Amino acid sequence: MTSTSWIQAALQTQNAASAEALSDALLAAGALSVSMEDADAGTPAEQPQFAEPGETPAGLWARSRVIALFDAKNGLNPIRERIAEACAAARLDTVPPCTFSQVAEQNWVALTQSQFDPIRINEQLWIVPSWHDAPNPAAINIRLDPGMAFGTGSHPTTHLCLDWLSREVRAEHSVLDYGCGSGILAIAAARLGAARVTALDIDDKALEATARNARDNNVSLHLLSADERPVGQFDRIVANILTNPLCVLAPVISACLAPGGRIALAGILSTQAQQVIGAWQDYLPLIATAERDGWVRLEGERTP
């Protein structure tokens, strides 16, 4: 096994506390990296770790798989010894079941890039990573690389919003992207010819990503943090967030829509559509207009 670059050790633990303690101990024992995953992933016992805002997260999995990466040049037996030391330091009674595998040297950049191909939204609009040529040079091609902020064009909710913008935005329109993430929707609105585009997000990292992506696409956006209120009203608003924030923010977002303006909301599971429609009923009537892979887009229009 010493001919490869790394040795990966996977240990299964029975509770969250032991998984956390073991992870720390493995790093102290010389592991190059440590990660945790649900040992029951892909089975009926799989446990979600995250929750929507306002809900209590489930926390770490009851049965976790702790995966540690070691330098292969040390040999397998010394790695076994380090794992045993880590288990003792984590105060585990025994060494958990452990499997070893080889991890060969690879071009990780090329491997990562190979997972992201150009995404066709429709005939008019494509999302193209910077390392790809545009499949249709005559279309509007948005250059966007995967980053920390949500929004590469691959998620169904982003696709639903992009398709809506490509049909709704006109040259005279002002557009608000509420919860901009990577800025993909705001950039699309600008590339589609909107007169003025504002992008707002609660996350500073998202605003940084939006600013960077806007520069890469040669568009000008007005950026706002969540504690800043948009000035005036907008002809088109798109908000691709989550169900709970969309419900809570109904009075805030709806107040930004100009008379005659139209809005699209996404980030909503089909089973949650009526919840959002109900939360908005006192501010703006909404209807479901499109569904993709279990996600729905809601639309509304302000009476002129």
Q: Span 6-105: which CATH code?
A: 3.30.70.120
Among the ranges given (65-79, 172-186, 274-288), the one the predictor scored with the smallest mean pLDDT: 65-79
Give span(s): CATH 3.40.50.150, the chain.
115-301
Question: Does position 50 have pLDDT exceeding 90, yes or no?
Answer: no
* Contact residues for 213 (Cβ-Cβ < 8 A; gap 6+): 143, 144, 182, 183, 184, 187
Residue 225 φ/ψ, nearest 5 degrees: -85, 170
Distance CA 246, CA 96 (A): 44
Tracing tokens 């589609």 back to the chain, one arrives at 192
What is the pLDDT at residue 61? 76
What is the pLDDT at residue 5? 84
**Overall average pLDDT of the 96-110 stretch:** 76
**Under DSSP, is residue 122 helix (H, G, I), strand (E, B) or coil?**
coil
pLDDT in tens, 213-268: 999 999 999 999 978 888 899 999 999 999 999 999 999 999 999 999 999 999 99
What is the pLDDT at residue 227? 84
Among the ranges given (27-36, 121-130, 157-166, 259-268), the one the predictor scored with the smallest mean pLDDT: 121-130
Distance CA 57, CA 50 (A): 5
3 vs 269, higher pLDDT: 269
Query: 65 forms bridges with which residues in the sheet?
Result: 12, 37
CB 42 within 8 A of CB 77: no
Question: Does position 114 have pLDDT exceeding 70, yes or no?
Answer: no
Q: Average per-residue pLDDT in the chain?
A: 87
Q: Span 115-301: which CATH code?
A: 3.40.50.150
Give the Cα-Cα-Cα angle 241, 242, 247 (nearest 5 degrees).
Answer: 105
Q: Which tokens hold the place of 7?
A: 């040795």
What is the pLDDT at residue 134? 87
pTM for this one? 0.66
Among the ranges given (55-64, 124-133, 186-195), the one the predictor scored with the smallest mean pLDDT: 55-64
Give span(s): CATH 3.30.70.120, the chain.
6-105
DSSP string for 132-168: S--S-TTSEEEE----SSS--S-SHHHHHHHHHHHHH
Give the Cα-Cα-Cα angle 242, 162, 280 (nearest 5 degrees).
Answer: 40
pLDDT in tens, 52-85: 544 555 556 778 899 999 998 878 999 999 999 9
